[in-house]
Structure 1
């Protein structure tokens, strides 16, 4: 029935017809996406180890660096306690839910107990909207700034001597951390790497070729997918509860998401599954929450089919798993993701 869809979807149909939305993704999508997002050449500079701790079977470091604007990025770097030698690295991105106060605390424990979850920071949420508008005015995008910061974090990971540069020599144990991005709003990245000492030198934006993967839930999954599309140095990517075809979204789905999922111009390059699969056959895992109210079931099924089609010549390099779950990344989903990463990180996961 068309009547219950409202005028907004009539507009969407007109735009799809007149503007050629959701084209097939071509091999040049990563570069076109970089240009459309307005990605900046940011670098992690003046990297500092703020403190170290050990506990719960982990050695941890709190790191900070600057990307040239805003507050310093703060990250937690976790490693199996006493582990020796280089380990694979994983950049972990938290969700972008309504509670904006905490970021890295959502996904990486520190030496103190996590802050109470009821600290909803309305000012940070409102600032996200202001920043999104300002970025567009400045020729970039909110998503582009976040992607630029994530690219800098991934490059920093690859530059570290304790991140395995040769997957064949890497231990099967991973490390993990979380980071607060320099934007000072809702976005924070996470990192999985090893312990190190002292400050690091300035890091070029595409330094090294270490074993680095990415993982994220919800908005963090969006960031992980975009990072995987933009950065050929990122190998395996896990995206949880963040993938659907855009063409199947209805008003209630669009309203549920932040600016980050809808950067201007993206739909003229590809549908969202095309971005997730942009660097096929680089390994990708998508965890679909089948009861997720933020995405339509039809959109998730369409996305799974489209990504599988993009990987038709690379059997085993794409894994899509449907869970009977709402919008979350629960223990069963985490177990599946970490088992897949442990297996994938043991080989050459880069294109």
Structure 2
């Protein structure tokens, strides 16, 4: 009924122009409202050893909300600076935890996290596996996840609101919960995640009122985490990697931080224009920062870091992205990297929405090649 709107908007607003990379990075940062944040008052809360790994639980303040909690993992016998990676947790409709989706602390994963990992991470904590390959890996909670989440009563809102089930992002069934479940039949974690789905649009609206965006706040916190990791004497060159919502975070971090040397985006690449008519509503508000389409398409921003190294892994049976959108993303990124042969690596995996073990191992090899082996 309203399909003509897309054509009118494109004609009048000049959507998806081709701006030079540096210009696009600066303009997008301003449009998205990326906050300038820092990891202040960093504390080591505890340490542990897990076989050949040394672990630290860190906390810091970005100036608002609860203290950020993070896991730092590295080989316990590390000698000298090692390459560092900011491991970015996904969205997946699971906000009760953040870093624990991809990194194991001393307690190990919860039942809910195991369920998620079995579905999209090949059953393992990829941050720990990466650390065992000789990296210093930082996995931190970010705005509205884990240690940075809202109180449950805030997320639930008025009685019954949390059970609407109409919030964006991947179906909650990816985490094993069902919208037909309610009340006592849900674990506390699943109850929180169900409530948080209906709360995300409220977060996005508040960010907009403050002149920023959901993506802008999250990117600001990721920039602070990357700067902290680089500041450590045991860390050399720094890259980042993430799946899905974590892949979006990796793309934004790579676009806005010139000191991030290598970026891996897994199962989070599609043109905006091909996601109309059936895919927009399935995604987090982080993917739709106001103003970006007037500066370029999402893959343009991913590739604005050219000629710096970028790996994009396309899950070709991904139910959250159309194949046409993934193919267009690849074409747009390839064009941006035409003068930097070998700096962009595309991986086309015949898998559903996931970052499985073969995809992880290929990413680890690529990061080692671009960040330097220990």
Whether these two folds match at TM > 0.5 is: yes
What residue is the counterpart of 1:23 in the other structure? 17
Q: Which residue of 2 aligns with 1:183?
A: none
CA displacement, residues 39-80 of structure 1 (integer Å, 9 cap, x when unaligned):
122111110000000013211000000000011110000001
Matched, 1:155 2:155: no
Partner Cα separation in structure 1 for residue 346 and residue 50 of structure 2: 35
Match of 1:122 in 2: 194
Q: CA deviation at 1:124?
A: 2.7
Provide the aligned length of Structure 1 versus Structure 2: 295
Please state whether the residue corresponding to 1:242 is helix, strand or coil. Answer: coil
More helix by percentage: 2
- Quick one: distance in 2 between partners of 1:326 and 1:298? 15
Alignment TM-score, normalising by the size of structure 1: 0.82
Equivalent residue in structure 1 for 2:268, among 242, 258, 261: 242
1:321 aligns with 2:347: yes
* 1:209-220 matches, cutoff 5 A: 211-220=237-246
> Which of 1, 5, 10 pairs up with 1:11?
5
Q: Deviations over 1:232-290 (max 9, x none)?
A: 01110000000011111133210110100000001001001110110100000000000
Counterpart mapping for 1:209-288 below 5 A: 211-288=237-314
Please state whether the residue corresponding to 1:144 is helix, strand or coil.
helix
**Residues 1:25 and 1:81: Cα distance change in structure 2 (over 3 Å):** same
Q: Distance in 1 between matches of 2:199 and 2:47?
A: 32
CA deviation map 1:79-118 (0-9, x unaligned) = 0122121111101111101122121111111101212216
| Matched ranges for 1:14-53 at <5 A | 14-26=8-20, 27-53=22-48
Q: Distance in 2 between matches of 1:283 and 1:130?
A: 36
Single out whichever of 30-39 and 112-121 deviates more from structure 2.
112-121
Question: Is the Cα contact below 8 Å between 1:25 and 1:278 reproduced in 2?
Answer: no
How big is the alpha-carbon RMSD for the aligned residues of Structure 1 and Structure 2? Answer: 1.2
User: Any unmatched runs of 5+ in structure 1?
Assistant: 1-5, 165-210
Deviation, 1:342, is: 0.8
Aligned to 1:184: none
- Secondary structure of 2:43's match? strand
SS in 1 for 2:221: helix
1:280 and 1:161 map into 2 onto residues whose CA distance is: 28
- Alignment partner of 1:239: what SS? strand
Corresponding residue of 1:76: 71
Tell me, yes or no, if the aligned pair for 1:221 and 1:239 is still in contact at 8 Å.
yes
Query: Which is worse superposed, 277-286 or 115-124?
Result: 115-124
